[in-house]
Amino acid sequence: MSTTSPASARDRVLIFDTTLRDGEQCPGATMTLDEKLAVAELLDTMGVDIIEAGFPIASIGDFEAVSEIARRSKRAVIAGLARAIPADIARAGEAVRHAQRGRIHTFVSTSPIHLAYQMRKSEDEVVEIILRTVAQARDLVEDVEWSAMDATRTGIDYLCRCVEAAIKAGATTINLPDTVGYATPTEYRAMFEAVRERVPNSDKAIFSVHCHNDLGLAIANSLAGIEGGARQVECTVNGIGERAGNAALEEIVMAIRTRADALPYETGIESTMLTRASKLVSHATNFPVQFNKAIVGRNAFAHESGIHQDGMLKHAETYEIMTPASVGLTKTSLVMGKHSGRAAFRSKLGELGLHLSDNQFQDVFERFKALADRKKHVYDEDIEALVDENLATAHDRIRLVSLSVIAGTHGPQRATLKLAMDGRTLTEEADGNGPVDAVFNAIHALVPHEAVLELYQVHAVTEGTDAQAEVSVRLKDGERGVTARGADPDTLVASAKAYLSALNKLAASARRLHAQDPATA
Ligand code: KIV
Ligand code: ZN
């Protein structure tokens, strides 16, 4: 296992997390305000240098999230994204105003294909836009990042001209994204080397990598860009993001840490918080983490084959290049059960890095007691699912009161469902082609809606036949899509919770859209 050299010998690489902007932008990954606040708090505590909290002009919800995250930030710089449009920049400036350290991140396309078809502007016009908009941002905040969208498909001469204009107008960070995930590591590194060498004032700015994973090269490209002189990496937890996603934060951090012998850099990230961050983002976005995902996948530290197990028993380093503990994967020290009291439960939450308000604690503790009555051992994953459910359902309009289902070999299956909605209790009985269909038909009868079910998935939170089932449901209503989860030892109750949670999310996003529409404001 590699040892770390003295800090002075290493260049610091800044971690710019865009989970709440580029990550949240991908279909179905929408988060509520509470979920965004929880993610931002964890990123800040974990040592992320810059948190891109959203795109303030995009919606009132985004603006509120960026403003609130800015107000609550302790250490990290809080960035808001803006197109190269005066109104966008003004809105981003307003949103990050209350941060201890705020950043406006403005971008414009530079590649010939984007200029011709998307922007319909000449090269000269775009340079003018860069000068004007970066200067406007710089009048609002000290810290301005400028990005050349589709930089990797931009001719190097023109790219240098744009970077020179951005630095001249006051940009302090220059980001050269591989927007479409097209570059190879050699090309990406060469681009940074050329721009840094050719642009007169390049030493006045920090250069940044931002890589998409369309060809599975996002991490290799990010590391190559660092070798080419970049000292900021833009990434997301679990690699979520547009299409195939962005470079994964946990992979960059652990590559730099584990291969300190080959990569003379360091980050400020507390790596033992990576697992928790991965789980939190996965639950908030309802995007499962693939089992074989590097660093945070369920199998990342599992050794199945006989030869590997034999080696591991003799000496862990035979097949393990980093320890599970270094990414925060620890063996459970305290298994909870129905005799566990408040103090033990509070200490368990602390051990899991979960910090709840008094009201949240009370609610989660009651849910824990109810679960412990039905399940012998309550594992860490069960507790995390309870906390996630509390965060996800805190502002729900529609709640499950009770459900009973008749199922078995002779159909039709029948569900009797009771819901609480806006202070009223509603009851319905419905048949279905199977018990899940019966439950969803009953929900449909009580809450009529147009949304269609796009995904229904069940998995067990832990092992054992008394494990909680975790159900994911994805609903699509026109352009809007949401994914939500529900957990319960009863799969049908978990299914009802997940479906209702998705309906609540759709209703919340419709309310936000309504509030934004000037005609209805
Ligand atoms: O991929 C990209 O080019 C972006 C920019 C907005 C920075 O996300
Ligand atoms: Zn991007």
- The reply, when asked if residue 210 is annotated as ligand binding, is yes
DSSP 9-63: GSEE-EEEE-IIIIITTSTT----HHHHHHHHHHHHHHT-SEEEEE-TTT-HHHH
Q: Averaged over 54-74, what is the pLDDT?
A: 96
Q: Is the CB of 177 under 6 A from ligand 1?
A: yes
User: Quick one: what percent of the chain has pLDDT higher than 90?
Assistant: 66
Q: Atom 2, ligand 1: which residue's CA is nearest?
A: 179
Determine which of 217-231, 240-254, 296-310 has the lowest per-residue pLDDT on average.
Answer: 296-310
Q: In this predicted model, which residue has the larger pLDDT, 276 or 4?
A: 276
- Compute the average pLDDT of residues 95-113: 97
pLDDT in tens, 276-300: 899 889 888 878 898 899 999 988 8
Condensed to tens digits (0 to 9), the pLDDT of residues 474-513 reads 898 887 778 888 889 899 999 999 999 999 988 877 765 5
Whether residue 246 is annotated as binding a ligand: the answer is yes
pLDDT at position 518 is: 38
Question: Which of 172-181, 238-247, 321-330, 385-394 shows the lowest mean pLDDT across its residues?
Answer: 385-394
- Best CA proximity match to 246, nearest among 272, 224, 221, 229: 221
Average pLDDT, the chain: 90
Mean pLDDT, residues 345-366 taken together: 86
Segment 159-188 mean pLDDT = 98
Burial 273-287 (b: 16+ CB within 10 A, else e): bbbbbbbbbbbbbbb
Q: Who's near 93: CB < 8 A, 6+ residues apart?
A: 80, 102, 104, 137, 140, 141
> Does 22 count as an annotated binding residue?
yes
Helix or strand run (H / E) with residue 473: strand 469-477
* DSSP-derived pairing of the beta strands 77-83 and 50-54: parallel
pTM: 0.81
Higher-pLDDT residue of 299 and 164 is 164
Whose C-alpha lies nearest to ligand 1, atom 8?
Answer: 22
Residue of higher predicted confidence among 203 and 489 = 203
Whether the pLDDT of residue 400 is over 90: the answer is: yes
Closest listed ligand to the CA of 245? 2
For residue 464, name the pLDDT band (cuts at 50, 70, 90). Answer: confident
The number of helix segments (H) and strand segments (E) in the chain equals 16, 16
212 CA: nearest ligand 1 atom: 1
pLDDT at 511: 66
